[in-house]
Amino acid sequence: MNLVRKTIEGAAIGVAVADTPASLKAFLQPGCAAAVWRRQTPPAVQAWLDALGPEVLPRGRVVLPAHKIGQTVEHLFDIAGLPKDDSRDWLHADIVSLADMFADLLGVTYLRLRLEPVTTNACRKFHIDAITARLVCTYRGPG
């Protein structure tokens, strides 16, 4: 894990680069503004994701108990008409795994789940809210 620090008006701002899920806890350290996990989607799943039409990409925003993420994601996949196959199963398991890790790191029982295709600069919204911590995962396109 690498922690890059830069001083801005007296405040230490760091970004941790994680190669393992366990390394993500670095963002909980004082002075660390973010942790970036370097990981790869399996090539077959990435090809499947890239080939999906926008009409079948799942969409939804909901606040729910962390243990309900899997059930809710499955429901959002069904509503969107996402084809059932091994790639869908991988995506489902990955979203659930990320949510579980995030909830465990923060010690919370509720999460705000947001699945949506983003086609504009959504980052500008992230920098003006009062969210304590955010997990962002991009499955296709620049992140």
Cβ(66)–Cβ(110) under 8 Å?
Answer: yes
CA distance linking residue 96 with residue 100, whole number of Å: 6
Mean pLDDT throughout 79-84? 94
Per-residue pLDDT band at 10 (split at 50, 70, 90): very low
CA distance linking residue 77 with residue 59, whole number of Å: 8
Residue with the bigger pLDDT between 8 and 55: it is 55
Name the phi and psi angles at 64, rounded to 5: -155, 165
Q: What is the pLDDT of residues 25-73, one digit of tens each?
A: 888 888 888 888 888 899 999 999 999 988 899 999 999 999 999 999 9
Q: Which residues contact 67 (CB under 8 A, 6 or more apart)?
A: none
32-to-99, 123, 126 alpha-carbon distances in Å: 20, 18, 17
Model confidence at 4: pLDDT above 60:
no
CA distance linking residue 120 with residue 52, whole number of Å: 19
Cβ(31)–Cβ(13) under 8 Å?
Answer: yes
For position 11, what pLDDT does the model report? 46
For position 14, what pLDDT does the model report? 81
**Percentage, residues of the chain above pLDDT 90:** 50
Model confidence at 22: pLDDT above 60:
yes
Q: What is the pLDDT of residues 123-132, one digit of tens each?
A: 665 555 667 7
Output the average pLDDT for the chain: 85
